[in-house]
Amino acid sequence: NDRTGDVSEKRTLLDSRLTAALLGALPQGYRAQVEEIMLCALAQACRQRFQAASLRFSLESHGRAELDDGLDLARTVGWLTAEYPLRIELHDAEHNEAVRAVKRATRAVTDRGVGYGQL
């Protein structure tokens, strides 16, 4: 398993009503970030597809998180990213609990992953 030939792709376009919900009503209702809502949807789809209660994702943030050391990256030119692993435990969680599980996992990541992998 885990071969290029096993890869599949699914694309979906959201209409204006669903886009408005994704960008406004859902994050507000769940007190979550848009990224957390989208990650929750992906995690639930993966849980269903792969019958896995615990899922591991590789996430990437923009890498310009404000750090406590006062480092100012505002005038830095270049592509800065931070890639880090994230494990989400969904088990049989319904939508509300799934969003909470994603929020717990993402918010436990220090500095949005900046520094992960440094020796």
Tens digits of per-residue pLDDT, 69-88?
667 767 878 777 888 999 99
Joined together, the tokens standing for residue 38 give: 């989208």
Q: Which fold has domain 13-111?
A: Chloramphenicol Acetyltransferase (3.30.559)
Q: What is the mean pLDDT of the chain?
A: 86
Q: Does an H or E element contain 29, and which?
A: helix 26-30
Q: Give me the mean pLDDT over the 18-45 stretch.
A: 94
> How much is the average pLDDT of 20-43?
94
Q: d(Cα 62, Cα 57) in Å, to the nearest integer? A: 16
Q: What's this model's pTM, rounded to 2 decimal places?
A: 0.78
Which single residue is written with the structure tokens 């500095």? 111
Structure tokens at 101: 């599980």
What is the reported pLDDT for 32? 95
Domain boundaries, the chain: 13-111
pLDDT over 60 (residue 36): yes
At which residue do the structure tokens 């398993």 appear? 1
